[in-house]
Amino acid sequence: MSGQTLYDKLWNQHLVKQRDDGTALIYIDRQLLHEVTSPQAFEGLRLANRKPWRLDANLATPDHNVPTTIKERAEGNSGIKDPVSLIQVQTLDDNCLEYGIEEFKINDPRQGIVHVVGPEQGATLPGMTVVCGDSPHRDPRRIRRLGSRYRHVRGRARDGDPVSAGAKMKNMQVRVEGELGLGVTAKDVVLAIIGKIGTAGGTGYAIEFAGSAIASLSMEGRMTVCNMAIEAGARVGLIAVDDTTIDYLGKRPFAPTAEQWEAAVADWRNLVSDDDAQFDKVVTLQAEEIEPQVSWGTSPEMVTGISGQVPDPFAALDETVQRSHTRALEYMGLHANQKITDIKLDKIFIGSCTNSRIEDLREAAKVAKGNKVADSIKLAMVVPGSGLVKRQAEAEGLDKIFIEAGFEWREPGCSMCLAMNADKLGAGEHCASTSNRNFEGRQGYGGRTHLVSPAMAAAAAIAGHFVDVRTLPANDATHAQEA
Ligand code: SF4
């Protein structure tokens, strides 16, 4: 019998009950909440006359609807001008207060994007099953939802524990081997992976990312990669535990301490796939072949390297691809064979749960340092992923670098990733965005999103159009991933 994959181990450790219909009940260790998806679940609990189970397994923070300007944030919830957004944030506050759930409120220094806050606090630990009512929740080392029913988790299952229902997925391993080139980051890696396997490539699979290039990434980089597993169709994104993981977790507020820490580390060391584990599918990329990526279309798989060009839809043999590429070019206002470097930008967004951690801001600041945002750019904004990231960036002087270059330095939140607050694209505007989705209207009605790394977004801000960050005058920008 062959060994187990990391996903198999996590599944088996959390399996409560296997059902005859192929679904299973899975024990859930942690739930992260935010304001958008939780009100309905709390209401469901009320209607069913049930209470949340294991209160200390929950952690909440508002992120989607919070304003990001310093002036509005100074007013707390009163600074939220949109009435629906205000109701959602206030409702989260009320529910957390009523049920005794810990919440980092709008002006708590620990507030931030829920997917950033979880690992940052050590609330997300190796081997945990973590649920969150939001799609990108697939950070390294943990399994997520596994087909969760949100309210089911929040309450208490009949057999007494918080569980989630779903069917076991197949195992896919995506290996990235070799050494990443200068200026090539975790974001470029994951965009290249999605470009190769497609947005449905991971459907039905749990993806484990492996190989020497993945192992060389920092925890921030690994979170960027796993965060976008959902964009490849996978419901789970994993990376094996190693020293980088354990070093990152030391002294995080929610992490185990004293003897429990030693015991936890010993346990976490087993969270790797066995050498003889069998994967249902293995995909391999060579790191040296990956260049800085830019999405040109309306799906993360519509992506190419910075030296590339917009494809000709009619060069595709498949009629469905021809139609989707034609539609994408129409929406994006681009034409076949247009050079990526010829795409002009209107706005720049550096933020989101994919790319708003301290390493991301350092990479962007290295490019911005000593430069100025092009006059043609209407707005260039940097939105830290959490209050703690913001504080760290300010301690390092990154805020000053951005402000001097002409960027707006904002308060933490989802911001223009989803445009649920005032940060939006106008119709027809092109944005170099470090977020994870480029669907039609994602950043505002009619807005045109191009997914890139933080360094590439900063370089585009300076140039006013896409530019290969590797060709900038020799400065630290071309050594971004060494930060
Ligand atoms: S930053 Fe974007 S993808 Fe991430 S949680 Fe917020 S809206 Fe969702």
pLDDT band at 422 (very low <50, low <70, confident <90, very high): confident
Domain boundary among 289, 321, 337: 289
Question: Would the pLDDT of 154 be above 60?
Answer: no
Q: How confident is the model over 446-474, as a mean pLDDT?
A: 95
Same domain, 196 and 257: yes
> What number is the average pLDDT over the span 144-171?
52
Three-state SS at 350 = strand
pLDDT of residue 133: 78
Domain-embedded: residue 482:
no
10 found inside a domain: no
Say whether 96 counts as a known binding-site residue: no
Mean pLDDT of 335-339: 98
Is residue 483 situated within a structural domain? Answer: no
Backbone angles phi, psi at 246, to 5 degrees: -70, -40
Closest CA to 113 of 386, 478, 325: 386
Together in a domain, 121 and 103: yes
Same domain as 279, residue 255: yes
Rounded to whole angstroms, the Cα distance separating 425 from 448 reads 8
For the record, the structure tokens of 199 come out as: 């947005």
The answer on whether 353 is annotated among ligand-binding residues is yes
Residues 194 and 74 in one domain: no
Domain count, the chain: 3
Query: How many CB atoms are located within 10 Å of the residue 137 CB?
Result: 23
Percentage, residues of the chain above pLDDT 90: 84
For 153, counting Cβ atoms within 10 Å of its Cβ (0-12 exposed, 13-18 middle, 19+ buried), the class is buried
Q: Helices marked H in 173-293 — which ranges?
A: 186-197, 212-215, 219-227, 243-249, 258-268
* Per-residue CA distances from 135 to 138, 187, 228, 341 (Å): 8, 18, 9, 31
Q: Is 132 labelled as part of a ligand binding site?
A: no
According to DSSP, the residues that pair with 208 across neighbouring strands are 173, 238
Once rounded to an integer, what is the mean pLDDT over residues 277-292? Answer: 98
Do 351 and 441 lie in one domain? The reply is yes
The ligand 1 atom at the shortest distance from the C-alpha of residue 63 is 6
pLDDT of residue 474: 61
Residues 304 and 238 in one domain: no
Q: Give the Å distance between the CA of 227 and the centre of ligand 1.
A: 10
Q: Are both 218 and 298 inside the same structural domain?
A: no
Instruction: Please check whether residue 230 is in contact with residue 135, taking contact to mean a CB–CB distance below 8 angstroms.
Output: yes
| Ligand 1: nearest atom to the Cα of 34 | 5
Instruction: Please tell me the predicted confidence (pLDDT) of residue 162.
Output: 56
CA of 480 to the centre of ligand 1 (A): 24
Indicate whether 34 belongs to any domain.
yes
Measured in angstroms, how far is the CA atom of residue 56 from the centroid of ligand 1? Answer: 24
**Confidence at residue 143, expressed as pLDDT on a 0 to 100 scale:** 36
Q: Locate the ligand 1 atom nearest the alpha carbon of residue 354 and give its number.
A: 4
Mean pLDDT for the stretch of residues 339-357? 98
Do the domain assignments include residue 333? Answer: yes
Tell me what pLDDT residue 160 has: 38
Same domain, 298 and 427: yes
pLDDT at 46: 92
**Which numbered atom of ligand 1 lies nearest the CA of 420?**
7
Question: Which residue among 64, 120, 124 is best mutated to probe the pocket of ligand 1, counting the most ligand atoms within 8 A of its Cβ?
Answer: 64
Mean pLDDT in residue range 411-436? 95
- Of 400, 408, 399, 351, which Cα lies nearest the Cα of 378? 408
* Mutational test site, ligand 1, from 434, 435, 437, 449, max ligand atoms within 8 Å of CB: 435
Question: Mean pLDDT for the chain?
Answer: 91
Res 147: pLDDT:
28
Q: Report how far ligand 1's centroid is from the alpha carbon of 412 (Å).
A: 12
Residue 428 — pLDDT band, cuts 50, 70, 90?
Answer: very high
Say yes or no: 333 and 460 in one domain: yes
pLDDT one-digit tens code per residue, 116-151: 999 999 999 999 999 887 755 444 444 333 323 333
Residues having CB closer than 6 A to ligand 1 are 63-64, 113, 115, 134, 136, 352-353, 414, 417-418, 435-436
Whether residue 447 contacts residue 418, with contact meaning beta carbons closer than 8 Å, is answered with: no
Specify the pLDDT at position 135: 59
Ligand 1 atom closest to residue 114's alpha carbon, by position in its atom list: 5
Look at residues 289, 306, 325 and tell me which one is the last residue of a structural domain: 289
For residue 86, the model assigns a pLDDT of 96
Question: Are residues 299 and 248 both part of a single domain?
Answer: no
Q: How far is the CA of 355 from the centre of ligand 1 (A)?
A: 10
For residue 135, the Cα-to-chain-centroid distance in whole angstroms is: 9
Distance CA 80, CA 66 (A): 7
Q: How far is the CA of 93 from the centre of ligand 1 (A)?
A: 20
Asked whether residue 424 falls in the same domain as residue 392, the answer is yes
In single-letter form, the type of residue at position 407 comes to F
Q: Is residue 481 situated within a structural domain?
A: no
Counting ligand 1 atoms within 8 A of each CB, the residue from 416, 417, 424 with the most, and so the one to mutate, is 417
Atom of ligand 1 nearest to the CA of 435: 2
pLDDT score of 476 more than 70: no
pLDDT above 60 (res 478): no
Select from 35, 85, 134, 424 the residue to mutate for testing ligand 1; criterion: most ligand atoms less than 8 Å from CB. Answer: 134
Residues 193-207: what's their mean pLDDT?
97
| Ligand 1, pocket-test mutation among 65, 352, 411, 415, most atoms within 8 A of CB | 352
Domain extent, residue 268, equals 170-289
| pLDDT tens-digit map of 73-103 | 999 999 999 999 999 999 999 999 999 999 9
Considering only CA atoms, which residue is closest to atom 2 of ligand 1? 417
**187 closest CA partner among 141, 210, 212, 218:** 218
Residues forming beta bridges with residue 284, ordered by sequence position: 175
Over residues 351-357, the mean pLDDT reads: 98
Name the residue with the closest Cα to ligand 1, atom 1.
Answer: 352
- Whole-number pLDDT of residue 2: 85
Res 477: pLDDT: 46
Bigger pLDDT: 1 or 61? Answer: 61
**Nearest residue CA, atom 4 of ligand 1?**
353
Question: Would you say residue 353 lies in a domain?
Answer: yes
Residue 161 has pLDDT above 50, yes or no: no
Could you tell me the distance, in angstroms and rounded to a whole number, from the CA of residue 419 to the centre of ligand 1? Answer: 10
Instruction: Tell whether 55 and 160 lie within a shared domain.
Output: yes
User: Would you place residue 278 in the very low, low, confident or very high pLDDT band (cuts 50, 70, 90)?
Assistant: very high
Q: What is the CATH number of the domain that holds 41?
A: 3.30.499.10
Q: How far is CA 251 from the centre of its chain?
A: 23
How many angstroms does the Cα of residue 435 sit away from the middle of ligand 1? 8
* pLDDT greater than 70 at residue 180: yes
Closest CA to 37 of 119, 124, 150: 150
Q: Is residue 30 part of a domain?
A: yes
Task: For residues 16 and 243, give the distance between their C-alpha atoms in angstroms, rounded to a whole number.
Answer: 30
- In the numeric block, the tokens 């992490």 are attached to 255
CATH no. for residue 202? 3.40.1060.10
Instruction: Please give the model's pTM, rounded to 2 decimal places.
Output: 0.93
Boundary residue ending a domain (244, 268, 289): 289
User: Above pLDDT 70, what percent of the chain?
Assistant: 92
Q: Give, in order, the Cα–Cα distances in Å from 211 to each of 142, 180, 227, 359, 453.
A: 18, 12, 18, 21, 21
Question: Using CA positions, which residue lies closest to atom 6 of ligand 1?
Answer: 414
Helices and strands (H, E) in the chain, number of each type: 16, 19
Distance 134 CA to ligand 1 centre (A): 8
Q: What's the gap in Å between 474 CA and the centre of ligand 1? A: 33
Residue 3 scores a pLDDT above 60: yes
- What is the distance in A from the centroid of ligand 1 to the CA of 314? 34
